[in-house]
């Protein structure tokens, strides 16, 4: 398959040049990040861009940065760079879990965290793991105005976000939690590193007695796209990692709170089994990682 005719291609070196190019070309202009999803849509002509504004040369929106308040991941940071990061342990390890198993090694060398969040594919790994962590999105508009948006508000229905026309996602901020925290992500796919049939991410903050003070659990592989599981989040409060039987029960109960569909990859009952198993794994691992970060 060949893309339809493309009139313009711009590869600016700054964010300002990128928004200016977008404004100049107007309708049917698309930003391209890593392009691992967008190029499929362009080749199948689901998208017929008039102009592509390539963000790959903008150094300021790439890479992992850390300061006292937490981490900042440039939107153009590739999966492989997140997967090999030694900085993102404990509280943010779910992102490493997710980035290490997206697609295949070729895709991980091109695909970016920002591209995946903006594309928000129905069962992609980046949206769900960021949803659990509670990442903050930094965006810049065509007029140059910046705004911050929590991931819950940023992600919409599958393949939709609250990103405005021409707006660029600059970075993903991961605020350092007040207490000890751990996160984890696991998925089950039909193929190694494939799109999840079910994927679950957990983010836990513990109090001084090692009990859960805050929980964010998110699941993907549902028709609704990445979805939080409030029933599990509430039930986890006050529990310790050693309360395994209670955790198992609450996760089993919370599976029935989900709107789960059947399709050729797995029926609803099987998806529930996967949710129970994977959520137990990630909750256990998030407790372990939170406690590990005490040292």
Q: Which residues bind another protein (CB under 8 A)?
A: 1-9, 11, 32, 35-36, 39-40, 43-44, 52, 54, 56, 80, 103-107, 109-110, 191-194
**How many angstroms separate the CA atoms of 83 and 45, rounded?**
31
**How many angstroms separate the CA atoms of 266 and 161, rounded?**
27
Report how far apart the first and last C-alpha atoms of the chain are (Å, whole number): 54
Of the pair 31, 287, the CB lying nearest another protein is at: 31
Of the pair 108, 216, the CB lying nearest another protein is at: 108
Query: Alpha carbon of 112 to those of 36, 55, 231, 267: distances in Å?
Result: 9, 11, 31, 31
Of the pair 3, 90, the CB lying nearest another protein is at: 3
Task: Report the nearest approach of another protein to the CB of residue 23 (Å).
Answer: 19
Task: Report the nearest approach of another protein to the CB of residue 145 (Å).
Answer: 29
Task: Report the nearest approach of another protein to the CB of residue 127 (Å).
Answer: 20
H or E stretch covering 133: helix 125-133
Q: Are 83 and 113 in contact (CB under 8 A)?
A: no
User: Would you list the DSSP string of 166-193?
Assistant: T-EEEEEEEEPPSSEEEEEEEEEESSTT
Residue 107's closest CA among 49, 39, 161? 39
**How many angstroms separate the CA atoms of 293 and 272, rounded?**
31
Of the pair 80, 247, the CB lying nearest another protein is at: 80
Of the pair 40, 257, the CB lying nearest another protein is at: 40
Task: Report the nearest approach of another protein to the CB of residue 28 (Å).
Answer: 14
Task: Report the nearest approach of another protein to the CB of residue 83 (Å).
Answer: 11
């Amino acid at each position: 398959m060949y893309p339809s005719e493309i009139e313009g291609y711009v590869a600016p070196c700054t964010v300002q040049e990128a928004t200016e190019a977008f404004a100049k070309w107007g309708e049917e202009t698309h930003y391209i990040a890593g392009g691992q999803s967008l190029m499929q849509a362009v080749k199948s002509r689901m998208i017929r861009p008039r102009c592509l504004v390539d963000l790959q040369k903008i150094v300021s929106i790439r890479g992992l940065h850390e300061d006292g308040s937490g981490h900042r991941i440039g939107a153009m940071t590739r999966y492989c760079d997140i997967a090999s990061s030694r900085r993102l342990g404990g509280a943010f390890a779910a992102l490493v879990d997710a980035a290490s198993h997206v697609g295949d090694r070729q895709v991980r060398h091109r695909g970016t965290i920002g591209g995946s969040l903006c594309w928000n594919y129905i069962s992609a790994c980046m949206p769900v793991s960021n949803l659990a962590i509670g990442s903050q999105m930094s965006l810049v508009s065509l007029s140059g105005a910046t705004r911050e948006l929590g991931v819950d508000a940023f992600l919409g229905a599958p393949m939709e976000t609250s990103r405005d026309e021409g707006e660029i996602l600059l970075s993903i901020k991961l605020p350092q939690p007040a207490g000890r925290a751990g996160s984890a992500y696991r998925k089950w796919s039909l193929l190694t590193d494939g799109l999840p049939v079910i994927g679950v991410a957990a983010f836990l903050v513990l109090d001084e007695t090692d009990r859960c003070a805050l929980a964010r659990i998110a699941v993907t592989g549902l028709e609704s796209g990445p979805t939080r599981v409030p029933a599990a989040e509430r039930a986890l409060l006050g529990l310790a990692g050693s309360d395994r039987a209670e955790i198992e029960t609450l996760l089993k109960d919370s599976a029935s709170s989900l709107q789960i569909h059947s399709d050729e990859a797995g029926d609803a009952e099987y998806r529930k089994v996967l949710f129970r198993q994977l959520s137990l794994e990630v909750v256990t691992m998030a407790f372990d990682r939170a406690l590990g970060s005490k040292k």
